[in-house]
Amino acid sequence: MCARIAPLIAIVLFVTLGLVASPGRTQAWPTAPKIAAPSWMLIDATTGQTLASSNPESRISPASMAKMMTAYLTFTALRDRKIRLDQNVASPAEAEVPQGSRMFLLPGKNVMVSELLQGMITLGAHDAAIALAKAIATTEAAFVESMNKTAQRLGMANTRFANSTGVPHPENYSTVADMVRLANSLVQEFPEHLREFGRRELTYNNIRQVSRNRLLWLDNSVDGLMTGRSETEGFAIAVTAHRPQPLGTRERLQRRLIAVIAGAASEEARAQEGLKLLNFGFQQFDILRLFKADESSEMIPVYKGTAGSARLHFPRDVLVAIPRGKAESIRTQMERPAALLAPVALGQPVGRLRIWYGDTEIHQVPISAAESVKSAGLLGRAIDAMRLWWRALSTTGTQAT
């Protein structure tokens, strides 16, 4: 009997919510400007969509962009109360700190976590990164193990870390696509710490130093994230910016973009190319709201439960980035099962909204259960089992006829 019930539950409904463009019509996607770097990627962090890229999966040396993972794990430790911003931790020994950027910690002197964060984020300081790593995991080796486990959890399948600083090492490698995933995770999960990435300078131990992210001076909408340099691969940058955009006639939202560039020829080039990508994204694309949260809720039948149906909804506003002025070329399609079997959990994913620009699918948004349904008692489950069996039998008979 279960074999006959399964096809009924697995039936997928294709409900067209707004068919505006012909399914077979080809629509041109905006062409990105020429970027003077071999590998780069631009995403709209508001929706998670990729707007443009070139060789995003090519292996690169992340250099100091690896410190975004050190920052991510530090923010995680702060959130989990494993460390505190006002906590004093020991500076690393001079021998532990590789050549390169530093905030000039005094060996053996205690320094607050908040100061270390500022030094690592604003200056890319190696000594600050090592001090944070040891404060969180006792040893840098243990911290690196956490870096790699977290990278896998975030979907950074082509990344490996060998140290907390990003200094060259055969086992320090990544891709632009993975660095974008990491940058987006930072932005989405720790917005309260994002202001730290917008600092232009830092004075510590009576030494004033400035950020190497020149875009913090060139564009007021830029508020992060990290730069890097490799002797063999050149200059890199992970940059993010937010600018207001109208949403309908009365609302505005802060739209955020993230760009990562690797292999630029100089500090000036990475800043210029980063700004070029950000301007392209903001000027050539709009954010369109298809549905407000809960606006397109509907009911779905539920079998073997204490209730006969459950409400489905979009837990958040459904936003999509589209080429500017091309809203008429968007079409959408909702896919969900014909019915669910209890138990159904609140927030359980049950389908998706697929969004096309012409004949190209550009985005997907999950549909989830807006309420929970517990399993019915033995009698209720038995009755629904008979109903499903009868419906499956009827469907099979109709198909045979």
Can you say whether the dihedral through the CA atoms of 126, 131, 132, 136 is positive or negative? positive
Bond prior to 154 in cis (omega within 30° of 0): no
Query: Using one digit for the tens of pLDDT, what is the confidence trace for 78-136?
Result: 999 999 999 999 999 888 899 999 999 998 889 999 999 999 999 999 999 999 999 99
The answer to whether the beta carbons of residues 317 and 291 sit under 8 Å apart is yes
What distance in Å separates the CA atoms of residue 141 and residue 163, rounded to the nearest whole number?
Answer: 7
Place of tokens 């210029």: 272
Q: Structure tokens of 220?
A: 């007021």
Q: What amino acid is encoded at 395 in this protein? A: T
Mean pLDDT of 375-390: 80
Which of the four pLDDT bands, split at 50, 70 and 90, describes residue 153? Answer: very high
Query: What mean pLDDT, rounded, does the chain reach?
Result: 89
Assigned token pair, 178 = 């993975």
Tell me the average pLDDT across 316-335: 92
- In this prediction, residues 211-215 reach a mean pLDDT of 95
> Which ranges of 247-377 does DSSP label H, i.e. alpha helix?
267-284
CATH class of 39-285: alpha beta
- Its CATH architecture, for the domain 2-25+292-400, is Sandwich (2.60)
Residues 189-201, mean pLDDT to the nearest whole number: 95
Is the pLDDT at 25 greater than 70, yes or no?
no
pLDDT at 18: 44
> Can you name the residues that pair with 246 across neighbouring β-strands?
252
- Beta strand pairing call for 309-313 and 298-303: antiparallel
- Do 368 and 312 contact (CB within 8 A), yes or no? yes
Q: Which amino acid is at 20?
A: V
What is residue 151's predicted lDDT score, i.e. its pLDDT?
A: 98
| pLDDT > 70? residue 310 | yes
Helix (H, G, I), strand (E, B) or coil at 237: strand
Q: What confidence score (pLDDT) does residue 2 get?
A: 41
Is residue 14 scored above 70 in pLDDT? no
pLDDT at 277 over 60: yes
Does residue 257 surpass a pLDDT of 60? yes
Secondary element (H or E) of residue 215:
helix 215-218
Please state the domain extents for the chain.
Answer: 2-25+292-400, 39-285
**What string of DSSP letters covers 354-396?**
EEEETTEEEEEEEEEESS-BPBP-HHHHHHHHHHHHHHHHHHH
> What pLDDT score does 17 carry?
41
> Quick one: pLDDT band at residue 19, thresholds 50, 70, 90?
very low
Mean pLDDT of the region 191-202: 94
Q: Which amino acid is at 83?
A: I
CA dihedral 172, 177, 182, 188 (to 10 degrees): 180
Give the pTM: 0.87
Percentage of the residues of the chain whose pLDDT score is greater than 70: 90
Residue predicted with more confidence, 99 or 8: 99
Tell me the mean pLDDT in the region 298-324. 90
Q: Does the pLDDT value for residue 164 go beyond 50? A: yes
In the block, residue with structure tokens 């995403």: 43
Q: Name the band, by pLDDT with cuts 50, 70 and 90, for residue 395.
A: low
Please enumerate in sequence order all residues whose Cβ is within 8 A of that of 268, keeping only pairs 6 or more positions apart, or say none. 214
Q: Which two structure tokens, joined as six digits, stand for 327?
A: 């809203």
Cβ proximity of 105 and 111 under 8 Å: yes
Q: Give the length of the chain.
A: 401
